Structure 1
Amino acid sequence: MIQTSAHNTYKKNQVGTATPEDLTLMLYDGAIKFIKRAKQAIQEKQYNKAHDLNMRVQDILSELIITLDRKYPIAEQMLLLYDYMKRRMIEANVKKDIAILDEVEGFFVEFRDTWKQAMMVARSQQN
């Protein structure tokens, strides 16, 4: 119990002190983690668990949509992609379809990797 409490405190501090860029990276990483767990739950026929994990990914997509900075032209394209991904997550949840989860996970991995690179470039330009 103490370990869980310490872990939760660490996570809250990590989120509370993170930059917006780091938070986006955390959301991408979290979505990937939950999709992997959802796929495993489907394979183990733990459908309620798979549903809960799928809903967490949908919540992450909602957060990404809400926090998009619309002053950048790419935001509209990201909005369309996030919306597509959210619809696919709903479909994956209804059908318990691992192939759809693989597709959405692929998007998240690509976004995360691109985001990491952009953060590195931005930080190197600041220094």
Structure 2
Amino acid sequence: MLNVQNQYLNTRVQTSSPAELTLMLYNGCILFIKQGITCMEKQDFAGKHTNFTKAQNIIEELQSTLKMEYEISHNLNSLYTFLQSKLFEANVKLNSESAQYCVTMFTELRDTWNEALKSLKNAEKVK
């Protein structure tokens, strides 16, 4: 079953647009942070570290895809750097409030990105 899921995910990644991949990264980041919070609550410190590290890796990937010739990219880069520090704080200092803050911020980013994708698709339909 796991192999089938991996094949599905692999196909989905390979056939998604860059904008859809960004949405998938946001979703993954939120998922890993939430899992890290759950692990923290269960005092599963290895699980917490693993999940927060996965989320941090996703943030690094998001940063690497920014096109820095745009002002919004500089703003997003600063926000991602700040959220990286909050996630580091959550991981090292066991600060669940910092982790929850990251969930809130990435949820807002994801929802905004998703709305932008919908608007773009609707605009393309009108053409």
1:99 to 97, 105, 110: 97
Q: Does 1:89 align with 2:97?
A: no
The percentage of counterpart residues that share the same residue type is 31
Deviation at 1:96, TM superposition (A): 1.4
Structure 1 residues 1-127: aligned runs within 5 Å: 3-127=1-125
Aligned positions, number: 125
Deviation at 1:126, TM superposition (A): 1.0
Deviation at 1:91, TM superposition (A): 1.1
Deviation at 1:11, TM superposition (A): 0.5
Q: Which runs of 5+ in 1 are unaligned?
A: none
Q: Which runs of 5+ in 2 are unaligned?
A: none
Measure the CA separation in 2 of the matches of 1:5 and 1:120: 31
Secondary structure of the residue aligned to 2:70 is: coil
Cα-Cα RMSD:
0.7
Deviations 1:28-67 (A, max 9, x none): 0001111111111000000000000000000000000000
Deviation at 1:71, TM superposition (A): 2.6
Task: Tell me the amino acid that sits aligned with residue 66 of structure 2.
Answer: L
Taking structure 1 as the reference length, the TM-score comes to: 0.96
Deviations 1:70-106 (A, max 9, x none): 2322110000000000111111110111100011111
Measure the CA separation in 2 of the matches of 1:96 and 1:68: 30
